[in-house]
Structure 1
Amino acid sequence: MTASIRERNQVVERTLVLDDEELAAIRRPYLDQLEEEPDGPDRWRCAVGPFDHYVRTLDVEPGEADGGRRRVTERIEFALAIPIWGVLFRWIVARTMLRRDATVATDPEAMAEAPWWSPPDRLDARASRMVARLCTLSMITGYLGTVITQTITFAADQFDASKSAQGTTLAAARSGVLLSLMLMVIADRRGRQRLMVVCAVGGILAAGAGALSPNLAFLGTTQFLSRSFSTALTLLIAVVAAEEMPKGARAYAASVIAMTGALGAGGAVLLLPVADLDPNGWRIIYLAPLLAMPFFVRIASRVPESRRFVRPHARVTMAGHRGRLALLGASTFFGVLFLAPASQFQNDFLRDDHGFTALGITIFTICTNTPAGIGIVVGGRLADVRGRRVVGAIGTFGGALLLASAYHVSGPWLWLAWVCGSIVAAMTVPALAVYGPELFPTALRGRANGIITLTGVVGGAIGLSVAGRLGDHYGSLGPGLTMLAAGPMVVAILVLTLYPETAHMELEELNPEDAAFTTSSVSL
């Protein structure tokens, strides 16, 4: 076999020498990461798959080659329906095409052997474009969501504020979810798309205003507004992803969105060394998103309204859904009770207890958090293929145990505990984050997830306040965070005993109101 890839033209060619049985196999439509359909003699096009353009042709030389076998040239022209991120996938998709085994790729069960980097379920072009744009938007939510976490210790130094004052400021910033909840109620009534643009603009402008802060209270106020919009945008991204993805790819979408969100958060981390250059250096980190605002507004404006919102759906109330709401709300409360202070006091802990500089914190954060991508990928894959509950419980329990231990060790053990804790805890992101959008009907999906996030903010506020006060009392954050680690233990128990399994189920199966309404609308 000979093969070539022409990346500029997105053309893949390979020459094969096949017997009659192998030739018959390669003449069947492929059913792997796309579904082909005939488009003429020895020509196929994409019926369903993540491509804007796809044509496969065969050139079968007449006569026989070696031992009764024929020489066949397979040529594929394609353009991925992956805006912005397509360059990262073009080469690996082309390599996968070159390595196709026709006897497998034409088997309907081939999707069970999907490559590790692809969703277990097949995406169409619209879903592929949608998840790519949502991933891009998640970068700005990641940045806006972590900027105060990274800079609070430097701002507190300039304003001569205590750990308790820092905890109060962080809690006040997180209380912006009250405005987020109002925005999500509007999203359930008016739609998701236009609010994405509003939230992107509002979050960036409010964050930029934080650069003018004369004190910690003003910074907390601007962050209240910025976090309101960025939290609402995060929720909208999760809701739209769930409403657009096929049933076997919702956790996959959550995982790649989480990874790009972490990439955005990494942008704030990379800028952190400027805080060491001048007492006012931390303010630059709040101004940086203003430069990217036109780009993110353009991306948000290109996200279409979700298909499930546009489709006729039932107008329902919370009655009958309060049990699910209480379950997810309690889980979020107890989880964030620990995770909020564990993440938001990290820089203060590294700086005060271990003498890290801003550059040292940046290096530590990148080195210990980047491997979390392993947990996100593995967790998303397992959650879609094997189910959510066990993956979520292991990630919650193990991640909390490891991250809490990191506040009691130093030297190499500090780095190791944080790396392992980040990887294990990251498994919960795709495994459990999908439950909020999955367990509520379309008319309640935004509001319910806003309420769940509100319970998390309450838990985070309590956790931050308790951790800050115990940190002042003990002179170290370790004892308080160890006590708060009981919260994720409760979550693991709830997940294993009360959570339903939602993998491989359509949203209408999980929310019969939407299915019944859609069916009745069609029959009318």
Structure 2
Amino acid sequence: MTDPASAPDLKPETGHVAEEAGRRSVNLGLLGRTPPFTKRQRRVFWIASTAGFFDQYDRALLSLALKQIQAGLKIAEAHLGAVLSVIRLGYLLALLMTPFADVFGRRRLLLYTVFGYTIFTGLIAIAPGERSFAAFEIIARAFAGAEAAIAMVIVAEEVDAANRGWAIGLLGAVSSMGYGLAAIVFAFINVIPYGWRGLYVIALVPLVLIIPLRRLLPESARFEKEKLEGLQPVKIWQPLVQLYSAYPGRLVMILSVAFLSSMGGNVSGFLFPKFLQETHHWSPGNVSSLFLFGGAFGILGSIVAGRLSDRYGRRVMGAAFTFLSPLLTIWMYTAPGWSIVPVWMLEIFFDIASGNILAAYSAELFPTSYRSTAGSALLVAGTTGGALGLFLEGVLFRFTGSHARAICYVTVFWIIAPAIILFFPETSGRELEDISPETT
């Protein structure tokens, strides 16, 4: 391989000098302003953001409509944690897809994943039983997970180093609006034809519309550069091998944080709407209003985290946000009455903020030749942690008889994660090639 030290410096806009005149920041209202993007960067950002949007919609829909789905498919209460755990394992399959993005290109795989996700989202809506529902969800999650990981890598590779955290944070905020759409349609679950099944059908309309839009997405400049220099992997298994051999210390640390955070965070998020309806006797409309308006505050956590991590560093801000999230989760499941609302808003703010910084790290700590694979490895770690958390919650529920108490016990593992983040290298403001040069 070419010595990375001898390779020319790469700026995101190499070959696009004429576009510098079009660099500008756009005001997005509640989401604030975008970084000062060039025309190319704006196009890449908005097309890439559609991937995470639908992943968030699907995840939110399963959580929000869990009570209705459970009743419709006749899932026993004691088996609920196991079913959710199995569905979460669908993200493991994303690791089999994302190496193709490191071998054949980010753009091509992003086009293919939207087709797969569209087909299986439609099948979810007509699933006849519990097993078929879980199977279709698993495959849809695989395509959605691969989409989201690749989209984040594309943005990280295209934007300027000084604004990378900001851009990734804004990407997370725009993607989280899928959660808002799910909250809006969930409020009408009792009037929409076919109930929860109709909510999955709604997702098909915008999915079909973005397929031609994806064709306008350019290939990553960094991927094209590595292809020209012969640094691009040529076999599908190479990115996986390189990922586990080049930077083992970084890999173990970031996967540990993702595993522990998801172990507590996923179970608390999945079961919270069900908890509100059954323990606090909230109506679907009240739950929807909380997630729509309170969630808007939480989405800002992604942008705030991006801006603060660019200014004060990923390591310090990541550890701080990750430390506050589990503490607020325990408080949230023990707070009385309506006091649960401000606690939940703060928890979702810090949870989204910490997740954004971890996502930025997954793109920054590893080289271009297997950066997409690294992103999906983070997803796999989070998936296994989340699945184990849901399984443990089911076991603890049998002993405690309380979902809230079981969730608080599982959340204790989450508190370990911030200590690991303090050992991460600092990446803010540095070019990707300086943070993670290619190894030979």
Compute the TM-score of the two structures, normalised by the length of structure 2: 0.88
- 2:58 aligned residue: 144
- 1: CA distance between counterparts of 2:179 and 2:21? 31
Do the aligned partners of 1:49 and 1:123 also contact (CA within 8 Å) in 2?
Answer: no
Q: In 2, are the aligned partners of 1:337 and 1:456 still within 8 Å (CA)? A: yes
Give the Cα–Cα distance (whole angstroms) in 2 for the partners of residues 137 and 301 of structure 1: 14
More strand, by proportion: 1
Q: Matched residues in 2 for 1:455 and 1:162: separation?
A: 28
Equivalenced residue count is 412
Once the two structures are TM-superposed, the CA of residue 279 in structure 1 deviates from its matched residue by 9.6
- Structure 2 residue identity aligned to 1:272: F
Contact 1:135–1:256 (Cα < 8 Å) also in 2: no
Q: Residue 367 and residue 471 in structure 1: after superposition, are their counterparts in 2 closer, same or farther (change >3 A)?
A: farther
The answer to whether residue 158 in structure 2 is matched with residue 158 in structure 1 is no
Which runs of 5 or more structure 1 residues have no equivalent in the other structure?
1-44, 52-79, 93-114, 518-524
Aligned to 1:466: 392
* Cross-structure match for 2:33: 117
Q: 1:89-147 CA deviation, whole Å, 9 max, x = no partner?
A: 5x99xxxxxxxxxxxxxxxxxxxxxx97343xx53321222112222333222213322
Rounded Cα–Cα distance in structure 1 between residues aligned with 2:307 and 2:192: 44
Structure 2 residue 380 is the aligned partner of structure 1 residue 454: yes
Structure 1 runs of 4+ aligned residues shifted over 6 Å read none
Q: Give percent identity, aligned residues only.
A: 24
Question: Partner residue of 2:3?
Answer: none
The structure 2 residue matched to 1:48, chosen from 2, 12, 20, is 20
Select the structure with the greater relative contact order (CA < 8 A; seq sep ≥ 6).
2
Alpha-carbon distance between aligned partners in 2 of 1:150 and 1:268, rounded to the nearest angstrom? 8
Q: In 2, distance between residues paired with 1:164 and 1:332?
A: 27
Query: In the TM superposition, what are the counterparts of 1:225-244 in structure 2 within 5 Å?
Result: 225-244=139-158
Q: Does 1:283 align with 2:255?
A: no
**Change in CA separation of 1:350 and 1:229 when aligned onto 2, cut-off 3 Å:** same
Pick aligned residue for 1:358 from 235, 259, 284: 284
Residue 328 of structure 1 aligns with which residue? 254
Q: CA deviation digits over 1:185-208, x for unaligned, max 9?
A: 111111111111211121122111
Aligned to 1:509: 434
Name the structure 2 match of 1:270: 184
The answer for the alignment partner of 1:77 in structure 2 is none
Match of 1:25 in 2: none
1:225-284 residue CA offsets vs partner (Å, 9 max, x unmatched): 110100000001111111111111111111111111111121111111333348940111
1:502 aligned counterpart, secondary structure: coil
Pairs within 5 Å for 1:15-54 = 48=20, 50-51=22-23
Secondary structure at the aligned position of 2:349 is classed as: helix
> Offset of 1:494 from its aligned partner?
0.4
Pair 1:369 & 2:369 matched: no
1:208 paired residue number: 122
Whether the 8 Å CA contact 1:142–1:265 is kept in 2: the answer is yes
In structure 2, stretches of 5+ residues that fail to align are 1-16
SS, match of residue 513 in structure 1: coil
For 1:123, what is the secondary structure of its paired residue?
coil
Equivalent residue for 1:499, pick from 424, 432, 435:
424
After TM superposition, the structure 1 = structure 2 runs for residues 280-359 of structure 1, keeping only pairs within 5 Å, are: 280-312=194-226, 314=231, 315=233, 317-318=242-243, 319-359=245-285
What aligned pairs does 1:237-252 form with structure 2 within 5 A after superposition?
A: 237-252=151-166
The answer on whether the counterparts of 1:178 and 1:454 sit within 8 Å (CA) in structure 2 is yes
Q: 1:355 to 1:308 in 2, by over 3 A?
A: same
Q: Is the 1:144–1:204 Cα contact (8 Å) retained in structure 2? A: no
TM-score, with length taken from structure 1 = 0.74
* TM superposition shift of 1:507: 0.5
Asked if 1:220 is matched to 2:134, the reply is: yes
Alpha-carbon distance in structure 1 between the residues aligned to 2:74 and 2:208? 36
CA deviation after TM superposition for structure 1 residue 472, in Å: 4.1
SS of alignment partner, residue 195 of structure 2? coil
Which runs of structure 2 are paired with 1:170-209 in the superposition (5 Å)? 170-209=84-123
CA contact (8 A) 2:113 2:146 kept: yes
Choose 1 or 2 for highest CA Rg.
1
Alignment partners' CA distance in 1, 2:89 and 2:125: 20
Deviates more, 1:498-507 or 1:358-367: 358-367
Tell me, in whole angstroms, the C-alpha distance in 2 between the residues paired with 1:372 and 1:188.
33
